[in-house]
Structure 1
Amino acid sequence: MRIAVTGSIATDHLMTFPGRFADQLVADQLHTVSLSFLVDTLDVRRGGVAPNICFGMGLLGLRPIMVGAAGTDFAEYRAWLDRHGVDTSSVRISEVQHTARFVCTTDTDHNQIATFYTGAMSEARNIELYPVAQRVGGLDLVLVGADDPEAMIRHTEECRSRGIPFAADPSQQLARMGGDDIRVLVDGAAYLFTNEYEKALIESKTGWTGDEILEKVGTRVTTLGARGVRIERQGEKPIDVACPDEDAKVDPTGVGDAFRAGFMAGVSWELSLERAAQLGCMLATLVIETVGTQEYELRRGHFMDRFTKAYGEDAAAEVQAHLN
């Protein structure tokens, strides 16, 4: 199954300040702030919705096609993804802008001051999916992830016009998009991915009820944090899947992307929706136990032992047949 994943491509620059931002602020001078923080650590991590999802799919043995825009500084990141089974040949390289960048400083109270540089991500709106499909011999599914909003709309409309099934995963961009644009992204999706808050936000902004949304999408997948995930289809009983036990809760960043990677792998292997969600939850658990969105390892024997413990031998046998 040929699955393309569209979305942001970015690097995260994370710093820690050994003090409190509040102590550096002068109440009657806030209109003319000029501050510089001497930080103790700098952690540069690979990030972005599309690479995070594709990385997880690659670890599971798939060959996802990543679609997005990056700068000329993408070469090292590309090599990393290529080495982990991701097809990066359809990434657009900007001639004038750097890869998108998230720069964040955190103080001892866990307050944060952050800046997001859009950079090359804004050029994703110039990417057409038809040449991607031609290059790989057709697309069976396109996951439209959070990206430049115009790119998200363009990819969704092209999927509709060309009859390519698509999964809507608007996530972070829901906050800045209006109801009309969100309706475009959701209507006709084979899969709709959100968390609980995003689920409510879609209903609020579009004016559609939950039942109306189920009439417009094939499968609605809602992640519930530590409570797992709920899968809904019109006229069918919801499917609830719990999360495996965690060895430790280290960093939640990228957990949702890992879930989508596992779920898409299950879809590609033609497993049941319940099994696909279980696979996604297991992969997400590996991420929450690790610092960084692409720093986890998938040791197949260990992975299957934990999967068996969480979901039983019958479920494990179905996954094992494909994971090998």
Structure 2
Amino acid sequence: MPVLVAGSIATDHLMHFPGKFSDQLLADQLHKVSLSFLVDELVVRRGGVAPNICYGMAQLGGAPVLIGAVGQDFDEYRGFLEAAGVDCKHVHVSKTQHTARFVCTTDLDMCQIGSFYAGAMGEAYDIEIAPIWDATGADLAVISAYDPAAMVKHSAECREKGLRFVADPSQQITRMDGDALRGLIEGAELLFTNDYEKSLLESKTGLSEDEVMARVGVRVTTLGSKGVEIVGRDLERVHVPVAKERNRHDPTGVGDAFRAGFLTAREDWQLSWERAAEVGSLLATMVLETVGTQEYVVAKDEFSNRLAESYGDDCAAEVLPHLS
């Protein structure tokens, strides 16, 4: 079943600083910080929250539909995504703006300092979800981070039309006020955040953990190296550890890959919450092991073997029939 994925579409400029940011930041001087980091690596990669999620879904055999706003410079990126199995027919193309840019530097501790230029993303407010839902036969809409006003509008449209949706505010929590965040999450079947974003969302909305849970069906919270926690009103707490990693290169896009794996396993394959989190966690680890957010390939046997290595033979046996 097609899944609509709305969110930022961007080009990533990823750099590596061969030191630690924490060694360069003076606690009593942060009010006048002025720093330049000499980096030893620069790579330019395809990125953006929505294409990252869509690419991961397509790697697992899903049918993602990309929703977002881009510039006239999107043609090459479009060709790559369509070749990977992503439906790009409903992407809005701006007549005046460039596709968004993400510029990020990562240090030896995997800490990051990044900047995001919105560009064409500012026109996302003009996008309507319902017509695309009807045209594609979708059964779920994922509202991920991009123009905050568009995110709130999409959520309201889904509630009004009775469309199932996922709230995934991630980086935009810092830009959105409490009213906007409450409007975004109200009625969501799933709410994705990491543990820091969870606390920040509660602080900004003034809602307690229980009050947030009263507004959403299930809350999925990634915990970094401690794995992922899933809680719901009619669901016993589920905790899944991270998948075993072989190396570390860059954490950019790890959360997007987790969402791709989780949603595909849960929505398309109808697997349990635990299995969905395990699939998502392995896909996230594969992104951590590469530079760039769409540079990995899911090979059926290798993916199954790694699931067995991290989560046991029963997990691998249950997932294997669904891998293309």
TM-score, normalising length from structure 2?
0.89
The equivalences for 1:25-174 within 5 A come to 41-104=41-104, 115-136=115-136, 138-174=137-173
User: 2:7 corresponds to which letter in structure 1?
Assistant: G
Give the Cα separation in 1 of the matches to 2:48 and 2:140.
20
Larger Rg: 1
Give the Cα separation in 2 of the matches to 1:211 and 1:111.
31
Give the Cα separation in 2 of the matches to 1:153 and 1:299.
37
Aligned to 1:7: 7
Give the Cα separation in 2 of the matches to 1:109 and 1:242.
20
Give the Cα separation in 2 of the matches to 1:135 and 1:96.
27
Give the Cα separation in 1 of the matches to 2:109 and 2:302.
36
User: 2:222 corresponds to which letter in structure 1?
Assistant: T
Aligned to 2:254: 255
Aligned to 1:210: 209
Shift in Å, 1:265: 0.5
Larger deviation: 252-261 or 126-135? Answer: 126-135
Larger deviation: 2-11 or 13-22? Answer: 13-22
Larger deviation: 193-202 or 101-110? Answer: 101-110
Give the Cα separation in 1 of the matches to 2:20 and 2:236.
50
Cα pair distance change 1:160/1:315, threshold 3 Å: same
- Please give the per-residue CA displacement for 1:135-155, whole angstroms capped at 9, x wherever unaligned: 21x321101000001110111
Give the Cα separation in 2 of the matches to 1:7 and 1:198.
17
Aligned to 1:234: 233
Shift in Å, 1:116: 2.6
Shift in Å, 1:16: 6.0
Unpaired runs of 5+ residues, structure 1, are: 24-30
Give the Cα separation in 2 of the matches to 1:181 and 1:297.
37
Cα pair distance change 1:94/1:229, threshold 3 Å: same
Aligned to 2:274: 274
User: 1:49 corresponds to which letter in structure 2?
Assistant: V
Aligned to 1:223: 222
Q: Does the 8 Å CA contact 1:59/1:298 hold for their aligned counterparts?
A: yes
SS of 2:236's equivalent in the other structure is: coil
Shift in Å, 1:209: 1.1
Cα pair distance change 1:89/1:106, threshold 3 Å: same
Shift in Å, 1:15: 4.7
- Please give the per-residue CA displacement for 1:8-46, whole angstroms capped at 9, x wherever unaligned: 0000123568999999xxxxxxx9x9x999976542111
Give the Cα separation in 1 of the matches to 2:292 and 2:161.
36
Cα pair distance change 1:123/1:307, threshold 3 Å: same
Give the Cα separation in 2 of the matches to 1:301 and 1:312.
15
Shift in Å, 1:319: 1.0
RMSD of aligned Cα (Å): 2.7
How many residues are treated as equivalent by the alignment? 315
SS of 2:46's equivalent in the other structure is: strand
Cα pair distance change 1:309/1:162, threshold 3 Å: same
Unpaired runs of 5+ residues, structure 2, are: 25-31
The alignment status of 1:322 with 2:322, answered yes or no, reads yes
